[in-house]
Amino acid sequence: MDITETKIPDTASFPCKGCGASLKYKPGTTQLVCEYCGTTNDIAQEASGPIEELDYEKHLSQQPDAQEQITITAVKCEGCGAISSVDPKITATLCPYCATPLVVVNASKESMIKPKSLLPFGLDLPAAQREFKKWIDKLWFAPSDLQKAVLQTDHFKGVYLPFWTFDSQTDTDYSGQQGIYYYTTEHYTANENGKSVSKTRQVRNTRWNFVSGSVNHFFDDVLVCASNSVPRNYVTKLEPWDLQNLVAFNEKFLSGFVCEKYQVTLPQGFDLAREVMAGRIEQLVRSNIGGDEQRITSSQTRHTRITFKHVLLPVYISAFRFKGKVFRFLVNARTGEVQGERPWSAAKIALAIIFGLVIIWIIYSLSN
């Protein structure tokens, strides 16, 4: 591959022909819109077709400067280490992941493997905040400050999170044991009404047989978040993503949003994908062994035909500091699914306990 680098001017900033202000991508559309004069521009899309999968082994063998890359204007957060894009026109902002003030004057050019595709934002900010507020309203004993934070747009950022997707053909050889249940009659003595009584009962036993075999499975689009700035378990719970609607990468979809540079390298990403695949492979092995119980004594998996994509997926992130601790909340900007950490209000919990004790005392007093 020849050296190819795409520069995104001013962190995906596109001037309006009408008034000169920056155009921003309008979620749910294929348009850039000026929020000042209303001018719209259509985002030209490439002819529809399958998103290109890249050969994993071939890519690793290439020199870094021979890989297709893009350059973004980004700043590194001193609080959480996230490297995310910034608009050079902004002099002050907060890190979307931990609410730490960013030193925008320290912004620099950052290169990364060019994403092949992305899912554009489907929900705008007000819609995402409504979904977030519904989630907040369901939380018991949440601090009042958390409710106030919902209304502060500075704490609510639209971010394109980096992801790797992996395809892999897996072939697994295994050995183990198949357990088959059988029952025997057991005689025993029990004491009933002071008398010793003889009884019988059925006891389950397991007969184990040694087995070996192989299973084959092709994994398609195993998704791995390439960010360490958000809790991985909450990102996983944002799934499923409508990856069938991925569009070819176009920097105009980034306009008005933050884009994070991946922190998980490609090899690290595949290691995480292996863990996901291993869980599914174990299920396949147990199913292949059959019987009532299974024991897997050894297994060896070969991965071939490995391909990958670097994709960007849209989320709204709200980082909230409460008593020195950071709580992060994520909204899937395609489906509205909300996941996140939550603080507890000690005062509200104490009042609830006191209220409960008072109710118990009243009931006890009335009953006596």
**pLDDT the model gives residue 8:** 40
Torsion of CA 211, 216, 220, 222, to 10 degrees: 30
**pLDDT the model gives residue 348:** 58
Distance set, CA 224 to CA 16, 239, 297, 311, 319 (Å): 36, 11, 29, 10, 22
Asked whether the CA dihedral 40, 35, 11, 267 is positive or negative, the reply is negative
Q: How many CB atoms lie within 10 A of CB 208?
A: 14
Distance set, CA 168 to CA 94, 213, 290, 325 (Å): 39, 20, 25, 40
**pLDDT the model gives residue 10:** 41
CA distance 282 to 177: 14
Question: pTM of the full predicted structure?
Answer: 0.78
Residue 216's φ and ψ, nearest 5 degrees, are: -130, 140
**pLDDT the model gives residue 9:** 40
Q: Are 303 and 172 within 8 A, CB to CB? A: no
Q: Are strands 31-33 and 22-25 parallel, antiparallel or unpaired?
A: antiparallel
**pLDDT the model gives residue 280:** 96
Q: Are 306 and 270 within 8 A, CB to CB? A: yes
**pLDDT the model gives residue 76:** 82
Spans of the chain, pLDDT less than 50: 1-11
Asked whether the CA dihedral 287, 291, 294, 296 is positive or negative, the reply is negative
CA distance 183 to 145: 61
Over the stretch 206-227, which tens digit does the pLDDT of each residue have? 999 999 999 999 999 999 999 9
> How do the domains of the chain map onto residue ranges?
5-173+211-352
CA distance 363 to 54: 69
Residue 55 three-state SS: strand
Beta bridge partners of 84: 75, 260
